[in-house]
Chain A
Amino acid sequence: MNTPQIQEDEQTHIDAFNSRISAGQTIEPKDWMPQKYRKQLLRMMSQHAHSEVVGMLPEGNWLTRAPSLMRKAVLLAKIQDEAGHGLYIYSGAETLGTDRAEMIDQLLTGKAKYASIFNYPTLNWADMGAVGWLVDGAAIVNQTALAKCSYGPYSRAMIRICKEENFHSKQGYQIMAHMMRGTKEQQEMAQDAVNRFWWPVLMMFGPSDSDSPNSDDLMKWKVKLYSNDDLRQRFIDRTVPQAEAIGIKIPDDKLKWNPTTRHYEFGEINFDELKSVITGNGPCNKLRMKQRNDAHKNGAWVREAAVAYAEKKAKA
C-alpha cells in the first residue's frame, strides 16, 4: 500500500542518497539505495567478477606451454591474481544481497554476461603479451575510473585490483617488447597477436555513447564517471605510442594523430561484431561456457564432500 507517509519516507531516502552522491561520499552496504542502483551495481560487479574468472581460460591455455620457467611463473602468478580479483569482487557484490552461488549459477546458465574479449582464442605465445598489454591495459583505463565510483566496496576493490593490473599490463608489454627484439618468427607472432586483438580490445569499452542504454543512470549515480567513448579514446591515446616504441603496427589505416584535438583519430569499430559476441556468437563463447560448466560439474562432488564433512564435524 502506497500511503502518503511511505511516499514521504521514500522521498527522504532518495534525497539523502542523492546528496551523498553529490557530496562525493561513498554509498556503503547498509545504506539505503534505490532498487535500480542496487540492481545496476550487482549487474556490473557480477559481470566484472565473471570476467575475471572466465578470463583465466584464454591465458591458462598457454600456461603449460610457456617458453621459459620465468614466463611460466609470471603467467601463473598473473592468472592467480585474476582468480583473486574474481573472489574479491564476488565478495564485494555479495554486500548487495546476492550470494556467489547464485551469481555463478547466472553465469553458467548464460543469464549473466562477462567481458566480450574472452570469447576470442589465444593462438600463439605472443597472445600472452597482447592480452596482458592490451586487455589488461584496457581494463586499467576502465577500472581506474571505477576506483572513484560511488559504491564503497566496489571502489575500494578497484584501487587494490588496479595495482595488480598495472603489473599485468607491464608484463604483457615486456613479453611483446622482448619478442619484437627477437627472431623474425617472434616478431611475426607479436604482430599477429596485435592484429587479432586490437579491434576486439577497443570493443571492450562497450557500444558508442549514442547507443549505450545503461549509461545515463550510471553516470548520474557516479557509478560510471566517464563515457565509453571517452575511456576508449584514453586507451588509444596511451597505447599507440607504446606500440610505436617497440615497432608494432596498429592494424588501422585511419589511425592518425590530430595535433589540434591532441588525440588519435581512428577507424570505424565494427559494433555488429561486438553485438554478436555479446549475444553468444563469438569464436569461443560456446567453448568458454562449456569449460566453466565442466569445471563446475566435475567439482560438484568435491564441494559436496567438503560440506558433508563440515556438517559431520559440526555435529560431533
Chain B
Amino acid sequence: METNIALYKYCVRIADTSLILAQRMCEWCGHGPVLEEDIAMSNMGLDLIGQSRGFYSYAAKLEGKGRTEDDIAYFRNEREFLNRCLVEQPNTDFAYTMMRSFLHGCLAYLQFRTLVKSKDETIAGLSEKALKEMTYHVRHASEWIVRMGDGTDVSHEKVKEALGNLWQFTDELFEMDEVDQTLIKSGIACDLSLLRAEWDQMVNEVLAKAKLERPAAGGYQSKGGFNGTHTEHLGHLLSEMQYLPRAYPDAIW
C-alpha cells in the first residue's frame, strides 16, 4: 500500500471519529443536567471539531484534488465514513454519554500520546494539541463514571447499563489493517495492539473506583467501523449533519 493513500485513510479515520463524537456532543447543547456540564460538553465538542478539522485538512492536502475539510465531512455516505462505531452510539442519557467518552477517550489519549512521536510532523503536531484535550476529556469522564457508579442506586444502575451496552464496541477500538501496518513500518502510525494493556488498566482502575464490574469477555463485539461498516445510528446522524450542503451544493456558507 502506498504511504500517501494509507496516510489519507488514517487521517480520515481519526477525523471521522472526532467529528461524529463532536456531533453527539452538539446534541446535548442546551439540554445538559446542570449548566456547568452543558459548558463542559460544549467544550469537549469544540475540541473534537478542532481535531477533525485538523486531520481532514491534512487528508485533503495529501489527496491533492483540491477538496476541503467540508467536502470530506459533508459529501460522503455512511459506508464511506471510517469512524469507530462506539462514537456514533446515541447519547441516550448522561451515563451513556460519559461512558462512551470514557471508553473512547482512554484509547484516543493513548493513541495521541504515541502519535506525538510520529515521524510525520503534521500528525505529531496535531496529536500534541489533541493529547492535551483528551487528557482533560478522560479526567472529566472518569470523575463522572465514579460519581455515578458510587453515587445513588439509580445512578449506579444507569452507568452499569451504559457500560454493559457499550462494551461491545470496545474491541473495535483496537482494530487495525494494512493502512496501520504500512504506516507503523514507516514510524508514522501507532501500533494499537501495544496500547491494549494500558487501556485495560486505565479502564479497570476507574471501574473499580466506580464499583462497577468489567463485562465478561466473550460477548458479541462489533467490527469494521473503520472500514465503513456501521451501526444503524450513523445514517441518521449524517442525514441531519449533511443536509444543508447536500440540499444546496452550489452554496458556500
Contact A299 B52 (CB under 8 A): no
For B69, the chain A residues whose CB sits under 8 A away are: 69
Contact indicator A291/B243 (Cβ below 8 Å): no
Chain A residues within an 8 Å CB radius of B74: 67-68
Chain A-chain B contacts (Cβ-Cβ < 8 Å), number: 140
| Contact assessment for A83 and B42 in the assembled complex, using a CB-CB cutoff below 8 Å | yes
Q: Is the interface of A mostly helix, strand, loop or mixed?
A: helix
Contact of B253 among A60, A125, A298, A306 (CB under 8 A): A125
From the candidates B27, B50, B93, B148, name the one contacting A73 in the complex (CB within 8 A): B50
Query: What is the interface of chain B mostly: helix, strand, loop, or mixed?
Result: helix
Among A136-144, A181-189, A256-264, the stretch that binds chain B is: A181-189
Which of B31, B53, B147, B251 sits near A294, CB closer than 8 Å? B31
B69 nearest in chain A by CB position? A69
Q: How far is the CA of A185 from the CA of B147 in the complex (A)?
A: 49
Binary B-proximity of A231-262 (CB < 8 A = 1, otherwise 0) = 00000000000000000000000000000000
Q: Which of A53, A69, A312 makes the CB contact (< 8 A) with B73? A: A69
B164 located at the interface, meaning its Cβ lies under 8 Å from any Cβ of chain A in the complex: no
Question: Which bucket holds chain A's interface residue count?
Answer: 35 or more
Expressed in whole angstroms, the minimum distance between the Cβ of B29 and any Cβ of chain A is 4
Contacts of B53 in A (CB 8 A): 69-70, 73
Residue pair A303, B33 in contact (C-beta under 8 Å) = yes
Distance between Cα atoms of A65 and B26 in the complex (Å): 10
Asked if B248 CB lies within 8 Å of chain A CBs, one says: yes
**Cross-chain contact A64 with B240 (CB below 8 angstroms):** yes
- Which residues on A sit within 8 Å (CB–CB) of B245? 67-68
**Are A309 and B251 closer than 8 Å at their CB atoms?**
no
A63 with B240, Cβ < 8 A, contacts A306-B147, A309-B146 known: no
Stretch at the interface among A8-16, A74-82, A154-162: A74-82
Which residue among B33, B34, B244 has the maximum number of chain A CB atoms within 10 Å of its CB?
Answer: B33
In B14-68, the 8 Å CB interface with A consists of 19, 22-23, 26-27, 29-39, 42-43, 45-46, 49-50, 52-53, 56
Given A84-B39, A308-B151: 5 more A-B contacts, CB < 8 Å:
A60-B26, A65-B241, A69-B53, A185-B251, A302-B34
Closest 5 CB pairs of A and B: A299-B33, A305-B151, A305-B155, A302-B33, A56-B30
